[in-house]
Amino acid sequence: MYNGTRLINIYTPSDAERKEEREWYYNVYVPYLHPATETDITFAGNFNCVLSHTDATGHRKNSRALENLVTVLCLSDVGEMTSSRPMFTHYTPTGA
C-alpha cells in the first residue's frame, strides 16, 4: 500500500506455448491479489499480451482472461487514457 493505493506488480509468462499458464495467471492468481474491500489499485508490470489491436503491430498475443479481468475489476488502461497516439513498450524487427 502507498498513500491508500494498493500497488501490484506482475510478470506473466511470455512464450506463445505458455498461453494456458498465462490465462491461468489472470483467471486464478491475479484475482486472489485483488482486495475484497474497495480501495484504489494499480496493476503494473509485464502482461505479455494485449487487450486490443491498437496495442500492437505485427503478431499480437491476446488474452481473453485479461480482457475479462479488466472488465470485472473495472480497470482502465492508463496508456489509452493518456495518449492520442499508440505507445509501445517492446519493439522487435517484426512488430511492436
Give the model's pLDDT for residue 81.
60
How far, in Å, are 56, 58, 88 from residue 92 at the CA level? 11, 9, 11
* Model confidence at 83: pLDDT above 70: no
Residue % of the chain over a pLDDT of 90:
1
**Which residue did the predictor score with more confidence, 90 or 26?**
26
Q: What is the pLDDT of residues 43-82, one digit of tens each?
A: 888 888 888 777 778 777 788 888 898 888 888 877 666 6
How much of the chain, in percent, has pLDDT values that exceed 70?
Answer: 86
| pTM metric for this prediction | 0.73
Residues 67 and 56: their CA atoms lie apart, in Å, by 15
CA 31 to chain centroid, in Å, comes to 13
